[in-house]
Amino acid sequence: MSESNKILLIYTGGTIGMVMSVESKALKPFDFGSLKDTIPELEHIGCTIDFEVLNPIIDSSNMSPAVWSKLARMIRDRYNDYDGFVILHGSDTMSYTASALSFMFENLEKPIILTGSQLPIGITRTDAKENLITSIEIAARRDYKNRPMVPEVAVYFEYHLYRGNRTIKQSASQFEAFASPNFPALAEAGVELVFQSSIIRKPRKKEVHLNDSFDNAVVGIRLFPGLGVEQLDHLISVPNIKCVVLETYGSGNASTDKAFLAVLQKAFKKGIHLVNVTQCSSGRVQMGRYEASEELLKIGMINGKDITFEAAITKAMYLLGQGWNKRSFKSRFEQNLRGELTP
C-alpha cells in the first residue's frame, strides 16, 4: 500500500459512528473530521482517507431501496477517484444493503466494504475501532500485480470478511454479529490478513455499470405450522404484489394440503413470481427430494437454492426493477449473478 491509494469512507448512520457526550453521557454522532486524531492507528495503513456523511444519516432500520440507490450513485460518481470504498452502516439491515449493492454494480473491480459495530466508537470495550481499521486496510490492500485484493461487495465484522450477499446477522448481542453459513470467509484477520484468493470474484475486465432501479413489489412469507390458507391467500393477494419469497421448511418443503397448494397455484397463474428459500440458516432448497416439495416444483416455483433470505429479497427487487418478464425472471433468479448462490 502507498499514500497514493485513496479510500472513501461513507458514514450512513448506526452505532459505529456514535460517541458519548462528556457532558450528558448521551450518544451523539462522531465528528469524522477528527477521525485520525481519534484513531491514530489509521496513519500506519499508508493510504489517503477521505470521508462523506450521508445526508441525512439514518438508523439502518429506516434503510430503503431509495437509499441503496443514493449510496450506489455516490460511489459511481467517485468511482474513478478512489481505489476502494468503506461504508459504515448499522448492523440490523447491513446484509440487505450489501446484497443490493452487489446486484447494482455489474463488473465491479474495486472493493466496497461494509462494516459497523455492536458498541459505539467512543465506548471503552468497543469493537468499532478494529472493524473500521481493518475494513480500511482491506479496501486499500493490493495484490502483487497492484490489483485490489477484494474487488467485490463484502462485509467485515469481528475478524472475518464475508461476501456481502452471503451474510446474515446472527446475533444482536455478540461481537461476532454476522455469519456466512453457505460460503466460506473471503479473508480472516489474525496476526496477518489472510485472503482466500481462490474464492474471491475476479473482475471481468469490462466497464463497471450501475443498475439502480428497484421494484419493491415483493413480500416475504415465513411458513409455520398453523398458518391458515386464508391468511396465506390474504398475504399473496395484496394489490400489485409481483413476487413472493416463501421461506419453507428444511430443503424446500411445505404443506401438501390441497387448499394450501391451490393458493400458490392461483398466485402463479396471476403472474406472481414464487421463490422458494429455506428457513434454515444453512443448506439449500432441493425441490422434489421429498414429497412435501414435489408439488411446489410442479407449480413452477423458483428454486432459491442456497441463497439467503436477505439476498433473495433484494435480488427479486433488483430483477423486477430491470423489467424481466415471467420466464426470464425465473431463469435470471436461479442464475448465479454476483456469487449469491451456488449453481
Topology (CATH level 3) of domain 218-333: Rossmann fold (3.40.50)
Please give the CATH number for the structural domain made up of 6-210.
Answer: 3.40.50.1170
pLDDT band at 206 (very low <50, low <70, confident <90, very high): confident
Q: pLDDT by residue (tens digit) across 239-269?
A: 999 999 999 999 999 999 999 999 999 999 9
E strand map for 185-331: 187-189, 193-195, 209-210, 218-222, 243-248, 273-278, 302-303
Of the two residues 201 and 2, the one the predictor is more confident about is 201
Which range (83-87, 142-146, 207-211, 258-262) has the least confidence? 142-146
Which range (86-90, 201-205, 242-246) has the least confidence? 201-205
Say if residue 132's pLDDT is above 90: yes
Of the two residues 55 and 124, the one the predictor is more confident about is 55
pTM for this entry: 0.95
Q: Could you give the angle at which helices 94-104 and 65-77 cross, rounded to 10 degrees?
A: 50
pLDDT band at 281 (very low <50, low <70, confident <90, very high): very high
Say if residue 127's pLDDT is above 90: yes
The radius of gyration of the chain's CA atoms, rounded to the nearest angstrom, is 21
E strand map for 89-205: 105-106, 112-115, 153-157, 160-163, 168-169, 178-179, 187-189, 193-195
pLDDT of residue 257: 96
Which range (14-18, 73-77, 100-104) has the least confidence? 14-18
Fold matches, 6-210 and 218-333 = yes
Task: Please compute the mean of the pLDDT values over residues 134-153 and round it to a whole number.
Answer: 95
Edge-to-edge strand order for the sheet containing 218-222?
Answer: 218-222, 243-248, 273-278, 302-303
Counting Cβ atoms within 10 Å, is residue 66 exposed (0-12), middle (13-18) or buried (19+)?
exposed
pLDDT of residue 14: 86
Of the two residues 307 and 39, the one the predictor is more confident about is 307
pLDDT of residue 22: 65
Q: Counting every residue, how long is the chain?
A: 343
Asked whether the beta carbons of 44 and 140 are under 8 A apart, the reply is: no
E strand map for the chain: 6-11, 18-20, 27-29, 48-53, 84-88, 105-106, 112-115, 153-157, 160-163, 168-169, 178-179, 187-189, 193-195, 209-210, 218-222, 243-248, 273-278, 302-303
pLDDT of residue 29: 73
Say if residue 44's pLDDT is above 90: no
Of the two residues 120 and 97, the one the predictor is more confident about is 97
Q: Which residue in 15, 115, 126, 308 is the catalytic one?
A: 15
Residue in the structure block whose three cell numbers are 432459491: 304
Q: Which residues are paired to 187 by β-bridges?
A: 161, 195
Counting Cβ atoms within 10 Å, is residue 24 exposed (0-12), middle (13-18) or buried (19+)?
exposed
pLDDT of residue 25: 66
User: Is 115 among the residues known to form the active site?
Assistant: no
> CA 232, 93, 199 angle in degrees (round to 5)?
105
Asked whether the beta carbons of 292 and 254 are under 8 A apart, the reply is: yes
Task: Please compute the mean of the pLDDT values over residues 311-338 and round it to a whole number.
Answer: 92
Asked whether the beta carbons of 321 and 213 are under 8 A apart, the reply is: yes
At 273 the three-state DSSP class reads strand
Give the whole-angstrom CA distance, residue 144 versus residue 149.
9
Domain boundaries, the chain: 6-210, 218-333
Say if residue 137's pLDDT is above 70: yes
